Structure 1
Amino acid sequence: SEANVAKGNCGSWLNNAANESTYKIEMAEPTKASGRWCSPWRVAIIGSLADVVEYTLVTDVSDPCRLSDVSWIKPGVVSWIYWAYNHGSRDYQLIKKYIDFAADFHLPYMLIDAEWDEMGNGGNVEDALAYAKQKNIAPLLWYNSSTAWCAFGPLYRLNKPEMRQKEFAWLESMGVKGIKVDFFSQDSISTMNYFVDILEDAAKYHLMVNFHGAPIPRGWQRTYPHMMSVEGVYGAECYNNKETLTDSAAWHNCTLPFTRNVVGPMDYTPCTFTDSQHPHITSNGHELALLVAFESALQHLADRPEGYHAQPAEVRSFISSLPTVWDDTKLLSGYPSSYVVLARKSGACWYIAGLNGTNEKKSLAVDLSFIQEPVKKITLYADGEERNQFDIQMLSALKKSVHEVDCLPRGGFVMKVSLD
């Protein structure tokens, strides 16, 4: 991968067009510079699968934090409207529905997506922001980068410094806590400069940033810790416009912890229980586990509110208390595309996600011997008999050894281990 791409640098990628088995690093465009010039890092993580998953090389070689105050940066779970309806935020009544969902589940944020500048049906965007404030939900707003696909607005509000800063000042005055900027065009120098310009200006107005329709993060989450997430992945949106994930989601999901998510936060928009435009065939246990297996400081819940309300009370409570940043990560077992058992720690809890990427039933072993502290409680959210059912169990906190968890085809589980 690569890291610490600064202004004046382009991005790079691996190209195997000439020979399928030979990958070459290629620059997005030629770089012409005079005077002192510094290349980004081009990095390789080589070792065991655990080395790859747990290593932090991409951020380690990136510049330290440039912000003097980070107290306003608050990770959290976000309710998000686009996936379920395959459309933006033109309907004020639907926006209210997702704000209500965030309030019901005690989520901190709700993202108002594309086309909010055309909002109608009883209210406009300022009404939506006021309603969010009334419900004690912090709003996030979507913007088109206006460099590539300009089919959806608002358009051309961030491209020039003076316009961008005026827009950001308005957002801060309205109580908006972050922006999602979408549809970037390429890995060129001008695009890399644009990313950094947005990050630097957003920090002045205390706005967190999510880059969507964008290439991979490149260590910027260390330099600019208000960069909360980046898409750069075939995520849940691929249930919308084409059948990409209908049959391949399970093995794809079991590959991402070893590949894309190693590079940095990943806005996959996980945990959807109902169907969008194309059906999915992963179990509800698998979907819940994605919230732990996939790391993103802003974790977007993409399903319809009724999809979450329909889950057992224990699952609803789990979602309401979900952390989105982690103190430690350990790969317990797994192999790309087949299965993964991944543990993440937040405070006094270990969260262990298990994913079955195969079309067969599979028993996944969870070895808890790595936990040094006393264990108070173990809760298992496992597959039920049917794909859309849960089997929720309380396990013996005294047994810090190996637990065997049975998974359905394309199934999964979460184990929450509470410490004293």
Structure 2
Amino acid sequence: MYKNKMIIVKICLLSVFFSACSKEKKTDNTLIKSPNLDFEFVLKTNDSLSGISYSVSYKNEEIIGDSKLGFVLNTESLKNKPYQIANVSQIENSTVDSTWLPVYGERNKYPEIYNESLFRLSDVDNQEIFNLRVRAYNEGIAFRYEFTNEARKINIIQKEITEFSLPPKAVAWASLRAQSEILKMPVSSIKEAVERPLLVELQDSLFLAIGEAALVDYARMKFINKEGSPGTLVSELSSEVIVDLPLNTPWRFIMAAEKPGQLLEHNYLLLNLNEPNQLEDTSWIKPGKVIRETTLTTKGGIACVDFAEKHNLQFIEFDAGWYGNEYDEASDATTITVDPKRSKGPLDLLEVIKYAKSKNIGVILYVNRRALEKQLDDVLPLLSSWGVSGIKYGFVNVGPQKWTSWLHDAVRKAADYKLMIDTHDEYRPTGYSRTYPNFMTQEGIRGDEESPENSMVINTIFTRMIAGAGDQTNCYFAPRVTETMGSHVSQLAKAVCIYSPWQFLYWYDRPEGSVAGAEGAGGTKEFIKEVPELAFYDALPTVWDDTKVIDGYPGEFAVIARRSGNDWFIGALNGDIPRDIKIPLDFLTEGKTYEATIYFDDDTLTSLTKVGIDTKKVSIKDNLAFKVKNKNGVAIHLKAL
């Protein structure tokens, strides 16, 4: 039987925090195990009055050492009132074993299997301070803090002191910002707060991912080394949190696996930690492929629609400038007023939308956060009345609680007008697309706008993509493809490896029939050429029935296979050194034969893109093997016969 233990909370100025005030130590531990017994969470309380802490084990090996839980609370009701917290009691246990069906995803169904315990923390008067809810999934551990209506009145969370104590030799792939470089480094050397999720390698064949899920109305968390304790990461919030009871914090999660690809395969854990779909009608939510219109002209828009129809794309997108200078506070997103610095026009946007609709092509419009923050309630109904399919929210503010709440409210409001959303720049997902599936995709990624080499993209795959869909802003014909990033086949493979329900395939590319010499917004001078390998993009879905991460290691290589119906698509990316890549086809259906169309880089060819294409029949018994040069790739379409 679990025994209640005494704990002190000490008041310092207007702050409340767990503090050691006694020499006597007597601990009491509570274990929570995952249904498959791989994960074990230990909640530790003790009579030394040093607070509560936890540790996590994976397959009987400790992966998170003794780590503190709690907050620094700034609250008027506790001013000048030192007192004791007396009780930590386990008040609820439950088990869930189910699956759920997403509107779209990397799979057509997701397992949701976990054991859960809820712990109540209360003071000497038995008044609740906050609860701790812990879930042990087959994929990892998650916990959150809950301030209920019965809790002592709390005004402000000044700091969160949740810790993640890692072994001394742990290394991480860290980035300071959502779109900055991802670099491998010892955890103990992290000097500034780094992004989540954070991929950590503890030793050979043992990897962790730590992060947050269900960040909706709270301040964003990052990780920084605890002062005086290198290797112990502590949560750093982007702002104070104003407490409006009841309040549930975001979930903090720890995943573990023998390979980094297994963590990526289990990224649905973040979706599981969010509330179920809140939209009764989702028939209007459409995934698909997109071409960006860069010239901001009627002619360019019509050309993009025709190209989309020809090449099985579902959307065109007009980027910044259609309503004026996006950085000018005076620009009005309820008008069609082309920014003369971006285009000479003319742009009859309503005519393009009408034409696109006649071809069953949707139109997405970009709106900068400056206009959104002052005009959101006017822009949403207006663009909906124009027949727009969705909006790309640009340069959104992220981090502080104020802007976290604003953004998710803006997603919910968009759903009221049947508008889908793509959020750009520093926002990273934490699973809210389960709750509001009109939230199609988001940036928060070092995409093709930054011209990342293959090795950096591979880092992205095994780190950022644990968080969920990422708008990579792919391009195919822009010079940067072969000059700095990789190869044309790398671009084909990237569209498989990086999941996004809205997949931008032609970010800088213009179709024939567009405005000559009007690159605009970084677009290329050249037109899209009708090269044979575009058939791969034509056939490519953007959402999937199944996903397999076959092999890979951050920065070095990645091989990912995804199924849609009976067909499979495989993308393989290689980093900075030549590599033999082997792909076993043991995930195929027994007894079926497939036609494999294989796209590979071949610099001996005289064609424009130097892409070779081969076909062969394969089955579950076969293995494919390739010698892949550095910064190259392989893309494969397996069509069931």
For normalisation by structure 2, the TM-score amounts to 0.58
- Contact 1:110–1:139 (CA<8 Å) still a contact in 2? yes
- CA, structure 1 residues 383+276, in 2 after alignment: closer, same or farther (shift >3 Å)? closer
Counterpart of 1:194 in 2: which secondary structure?
helix
Q: Deviations over 1:333-374 (max 9, x none)?
A: 11110001111111111111100011x322210110122341
Counterpart of 1:266 in 2: which secondary structure?
coil
Worse-superposed segment, 204-213 or 372-381: 372-381
2:458 pairs with 251, 254, 257, which one? Answer: 254
- CA, structure 1 residues 278+237, in 2 after alignment: closer, same or farther (shift >3 Å)? farther
2:496 pairs with 292, 295, 316, which one? Answer: 292
Q: Deviations over 1:154-195 (max 9, x none)?
A: x2xx325xx434322222222110100011223111111111
User: Is 1:31 aligned to 2:241, yes or no?
Assistant: yes
Cα RMSD, aligned residues only: 2.4
TM-aligned CA deviation for residue 283 of structure 1: 1.2
- CA, structure 1 residues 279+382, in 2 after alignment: closer, same or farther (shift >3 Å)? closer
Counterpart of 1:214 in 2: which secondary structure?
coil
2:219 pairs with 10, 15, 19, which one? Answer: 10
The 5 Å alignment of 1:254-403 reads 254-275=458-479, 279-301=483-505, 302-305=507-510, 309-310=528-529, 312-313=531-532, 315-358=533-576, 360-373=577-590, 374-385=592-603, 388-398=609-619, 400-403=621-624
Q: Distance in 1 between matches of 2:603 and 2:530?
A: 15
Q: Distance in 1 between matches of 2:450 and 2:604?
A: 24
Letter in 1 for 2:508: D
Other-structure match for 1:159? 373
1:128 pairs with 352, 355, 377, which one? Answer: 352
1:101 pairs with 300, 307, 330, which one? Answer: 307
- Contact 2:271–2:434 (CA<8 Å) still a contact in 1? yes
Other-structure match for 1:220? 432
Worse-superposed segment, 167-176 or 295-304: 167-176
- CA, structure 1 residues 75+217, in 2 after alignment: closer, same or farther (shift >3 Å)? same
Q: Distance in 1 between matches of 2:298 and 2:346?
A: 6
- Contact 1:271–1:288 (CA<8 Å) still a contact in 2? no
- CA, structure 1 residues 382+400, in 2 after alignment: closer, same or farther (shift >3 Å)? farther
Q: Distance in 2 between matches of 1:311 and 1:24?
A: 52
1 or 2, which has the higher helix percentage? Answer: 1
Q: Distance in 2 between matches of 1:201 and 1:36?
A: 22
TM-aligned CA deviation for residue 214 of structure 1: 3.1
Letter in 1 for 2:299: Q
Q: Distance in 2 between matches of 1:386 and 1:175?
A: 48
Letter in 2 for 1:413: V
Other-structure match for 2:133? none
Letter in 1 for 2:215: V
Counterpart of 1:133 in 2: which secondary structure?
helix
Q: Distance in 2 between matches of 1:186 and 1:260?
A: 16
- Contact 1:62–1:219 (CA<8 Å) still a contact in 2? yes
Q: Deviations over 1:299-356 (max 9, x none)?
A: 012131357842532x222212210011111111111100011111111111111000
- CA, structure 1 residues 339+193, in 2 after alignment: closer, same or farther (shift >3 Å)? same
Counterpart of 1:59 in 2: which secondary structure?
helix
- Contact 2:551–2:559 (CA<8 Å) still a contact in 1? yes
- CA, structure 1 residues 398+193, in 2 after alignment: closer, same or farther (shift >3 Å)? closer
1:137 pairs with 361, 371, 380, which one? Answer: 361
Q: Distance in 2 between matches of 1:283 and 1:51?
A: 27
Q: Distance in 2 between matches of 1:14 and 1:386?
A: 47
Q: Deviations over 1:187-224 (max 9, x none)?
A: 11111111111111111111110000132101111011
Counterpart of 1:333 in 2: which secondary structure?
strand
Worse-superposed segment, 171-180 or 378-387: 378-387
- CA, structure 1 residues 99+20, in 2 after alignment: closer, same or farther (shift >3 Å)? farther
For normalisation by structure 1, the TM-score amounts to 0.86
Q: Distance in 1 between matches of 2:530 and 2:492?
A: 11
Counterpart of 2:625 in 1: which secondary structure?
strand
Q: Deviations over 1:215-249 (max 9, x none)?
A: 2101111011111101001101113xxxxx3xxx1
Other-structure match for 1:54? 265
Letter in 2 for 1:370: F
Other-structure match for 2:640? 419
Other-structure match for 1:149? none
TM-aligned CA deviation for residue 94 of structure 1: 3.2
Q: Distance in 2 between matches of 1:24 and 1:252?
A: 26
- Contact 1:376–1:418 (CA<8 Å) still a contact in 2? yes
Q: Distance in 2 between matches of 1:399 and 1:369?
A: 5
TM-aligned CA deviation for residue 21 of structure 1: 6.0
Letter in 2 for 1:13: K
Q: Deviations over 1:9-56 (max 9, x none)?
A: 111112359798664321111113143221110112211223201001
Counterpart of 1:213 in 2: which secondary structure?
coil
Q: Distance in 1 between matches of 2:482 and 2:611?
A: 23
The 5 Å alignment of 1:50-199 reads 50-55=261-266, 56-82=268-294, 90-117=296-323, 118-119=337-338, 120-146=344-370, 155=371, 158-159=372-373, 163-199=375-411
Worse-superposed segment, 333-342 or 186-195: 186-195
User: Is 1:205 aligned to 2:429, yes or no?
Assistant: no
Counterpart of 1:45 in 2: which secondary structure?
strand
Q: Distance in 2 between matches of 1:414 and 1:285?
A: 7
Q: Distance in 2 between matches of 1:101 and 1:305?
A: 9
- CA, structure 1 residues 408+310, in 2 after alignment: closer, same or farther (shift >3 Å)? farther
Q: Alignment identity in percent?
A: 28
TM-aligned CA deviation for residue 135 of structure 1: 4.2
TM-aligned CA deviation for residue 128 of structure 1: 3.1
Higher relative contact order (CA 8 A, sep 6+): 1
- Contact 1:283–1:408 (CA<8 Å) still a contact in 2? no
The 5 Å alignment of 1:231-250 reads 231-239=443-451, 245=452, 249-250=453-454
